[in-house]
Structure 1
């Protein structure tokens, strides 16, 4: 019998090849840290020079909560992010492809282990350069309001392209992938990449923020009831948003012919984010003739990432993602 958790840990550990070069902010430390054999990335990139734009009068304070009782499988969630940044996973040999990962957390936190670092290690072992985004949260009072996470995602895409040569990646092979509420950030980026959400500050901001491909995974998408995930909707838009505000932040309402090809994954038994979110987004993509690949699984629940998919049919999704990306020209 194969110990699936042990195999997963070994695969994740094999994917990490961090470097201290250019490190600016240490990775967050929780009670469990990264677990045995699973070091945190040593390299981070600040998104903004100095303070991030639109700082609240009372800045948030970053807190790391360790939610796991198993020291071998940490499950850290970060809230109160005041210095948005990218944690970088460098492969031993870069294949030229890059991925921006936006973890979930219901817009109340950013879940960095099971929806960020684990995928970073797994893909780095396969040649991808992965950037996990610590994005600001809309409930913390930033001036950009519901656009604050999108601002960070746009800036991250531009910085990745601006530094493409130093990471041995191609600027036309930069994809985005997000989970749950981070899937909403990903969908928002895929549909509103050209929206003006912050004032340009340097040469990087002259580059496009459009991902070359996007993969919202069990994603929050609709901000309209009954499909909307209530907690994410309230934190993003407030408790009584107008219908216009709901539409402005529902990716299906903002799909155009310029939306990049999309890869969608959802479990039909998801008790947290209704699978109708993915179906509605897919319908909008099809109507706009945007290429879309969709995988629906009968079982999987919510928040499966990599670790909770093991032993179920849904564990195939990362391999399916790689095959789809390859069909688009990603290595």
Structure 2
């Protein structure tokens, strides 16, 4: 437990320390000019030690991290990254910390991890409201990692433990760490919320003695089911394979793994989502209710898929960030 004085002093000390040495830089396009008014983050935390003891179960063929720009607007970036071999956290520090942290898992259909609209934009928005934000760039299950469908979960578990191991440095309370995920990143978040205690990697240091259970979880238009009827086909194919057995699909359908230990959940989905069926969220909510897990659910008439912050404006779904803040306060965060 941190007292408030220690939290404040920790924030000051870490701010003076600057960027951690020898950390992998954030995903970026070499030579790209930052958008005016949107400074690029430069502080990262590598999840796994480098060298022979780096991220476990590396594919036989070395990956090349590649970032592509998908936006056609000069004032709005929409980058995505593939080939992540050094999973890491990109840090957004608030000017005045409220003692709470959010681990953010962007989406990308398990084919990529988006950088801006479900990552950095949320990082800036939450940090402006006092949260210390850690955007997770996790390994992709279709890129040959030995852990297969558990590889992103391993990174998420490790991320929670690393954040808690550095709580004093960042001026946060280790019992006030939320997880938030979008689309396939919502599956990573749901997996973490329901299988946080499943051993999916071998401990590498003292941080792995800490808890990986998030204190609350926010699943935003999340991929949840891996059954053929409800699954997002691309995410399912990359996570468990097109010919996956019924048992394997069930093992990676997050609603089927909800227990009384699952943390309180905040769920958001748009009814007109044509990419990830809203029934994914409805099914997860039903599982939470059955397990007596506190759950708040917001289903919007319109918003489509992948709205994040930018694409929700002017639609009913634009209310979700403020609804999350209000709910988070009732859970002791913020």
Q: TM-score, normalised to structure 2's length?
A: 0.92
Aligned length: 315
Cα deviations by residue, 1:168-223 (Å, 9 ceiling, x for unpaired): 00000000000000000000000000000000011100001000000010000000
Counterpart selection for 2:171 from 168, 171, 176: 168
Aligned equivalents of 1:109, 1:327: Cα separation in 2: 34
Aligned equivalents of 2:291, 2:128: Cα separation in 1: 35
Q: Would the aligned equivalents of 2:77 and 2:116 in 1 still touch at CA under 8 Å? A: yes
Aligned equivalents of 2:278, 2:19: Cα separation in 1: 42
Aligned equivalents of 2:81, 2:104: Cα separation in 1: 15
Counterparts in 2 of 1:274 and 1:83: CA distance versus 1, 3 Å: same
Partner of 1:22: 20
Q: Please tell me whether residue 236 in structure 1 is matched to residue 239 in structure 2.
A: yes
Partner of 1:284: 287
Give unmatched runs, 5+ long, in structure 1.
1-16
Counterpart mapping for 1:24-173 below 5 A: 24-30=23-29, 34-50=34-50, 51-173=54-176
Counterpart selection for 1:202 from 201, 205, 209: 205
Q: What is the Cα deviation at residue 59 of structure 1?
A: 1.9
Cα deviations by residue, 1:32-83 (Å, 9 ceiling, x for unpaired): 5542111111100000001210011102111001000112110000001010
Aligned equivalents of 1:106, 1:83: Cα separation in 2: 19
Give unmatched runs, 5+ long, in structure 2.
1-14
Aligned equivalents of 1:32, 1:297: Cα separation in 2: 36
Cα deviations by residue, 1:117-173 (Å, 9 ceiling, x for unpaired): 000000100100000000000001001000000000000000000000000000000
Aligned equivalents of 2:223, 2:28: Cα separation in 1: 28
Partner of 1:263: 266
- The secondary structure found in structure 2 opposite 1:86 is strand
Partner of 1:13: none
Aligned equivalents of 1:37, 1:19: Cα separation in 2: 24
